[in-house]
Structure 1
Amino acid sequence: MKPLFVINTKTELLALHRVFIEAKFSLDPNDFDIGPSSIVSALYDSIFQALKKDGQNWDKWLENQRPRILKAVKLGVARIQECEWQKWSHERRVEYVSDYASPLTLSSAEIEMLISKK
């Protein structure tokens, strides 16, 4: 299958990375479905893995982003109506916050803190 899209340079990859950071972790998003989207998370995971191949310490960079990412996820959870949140299973809530935080891996304690907000 022929690729539908190709990144040709590191500069293009970095630009795409910046777009995804803004889209996923905006504290004032226009589209509330982007951050927690499993499709967007999978795409950004691919971008992040490609960035890590260049030898820079992207894991350290991501860890430095932890406060911003946690804040964005917390705000995303807060936007969900209480009656809707209560209908979700524990597994669905974990999936939601994990996809939202991706590519950052959350600890069990962080996940529980985020999903117990209501």
Structure 2
Amino acid sequence: MTFSIVLESYYELLALHRSLLEAKFNNGPNDYDVSKSPILNKIYGQVIDKILDEEFRRGGEEARVKWLSWLEMKKDRREWEVALSIVRREKQWESWKDEGKAAFVRDVIFPFRISDELMCEFIREL
């Protein structure tokens, strides 16, 4: 069974993106599982794909690349600090091997992308 939601404008799509971003990177969440949910990440990935498609349609490759650049995680982003606090709350963190830690961090920081070098820095900060 599939379900669909109809968004009638690009601005509704952006509003959904902004809502998901706030839900995932909330300093005081009511539900801590939202930030690390692979199910939410799957939905959010579809939203990001549609945004990238629409940006390409509206402004070509340059507009799409601008969004892809915005999706790169950087240490000076607010989301970096929020993600660190989310990961610090994870009780199983110390029992995971490096690959498990990296996978978890990628779930937490999604939709942002992180380089291997920055991933190492992120994990060292914990």
Query: TM-score w.r.t. structure 2 length?
Result: 0.77
Look up the match of 2:60: none
Look up the match of 1:110: 118
Distance in 2 (CA, whole Å) between partners of 1:99 and 1:16 is 19
Structure 1 unmatched runs, 5+: none
Q: 1:77 aligns with which of 83, 87, 97?
A: 87
Look up the match of 2:35: 35
**Structure with larger RCO (C-alpha < 8 A, sep 6+):** 1
Q: Secondary structure at the match of 1:6?
A: coil
Look up the match of 1:26: 26
**Do residues 58 (structure 1) and 64 (structure 2) align?**
no
Distance in 2 (CA, whole Å) between partners of 1:116 and 1:86 is 13
Deviation at 1:2? 5.4
Change (3 A) 1:107 1:59: same
Per-residue displacement from partner, 1:35-76 (whole Å, max 9, x unpaired)?
A: 11111112111111111122243223334x741221121111
Look up the match of 2:59: none
Change (3 A) 1:112 1:9: same
**Do residues 93 (structure 1) and 101 (structure 2) align?**
yes
User: Which residue identity is paired with 1:12?
Assistant: E
Distance in 1 (CA, whole Å) between partners of 2:123 and 2:31 is 21
> What percent of counterpart residues are identical?
30
Deviation at 1:18? 0.9
Distance in 2 (CA, whole Å) between partners of 1:2 and 1:28 is 32
User: Which residue identity is paired with 2:86?
Assistant: G
Structure 2 unmatched runs, 5+: 56-62
Q: Please, what is the CA RMSD of the aligned residues?
A: 2.0
User: Which residue identity is paired with 2:16?
Assistant: L
Query: TM-score w.r.t. structure 1 length?
Result: 0.81
Deviation at 1:3? 3.7
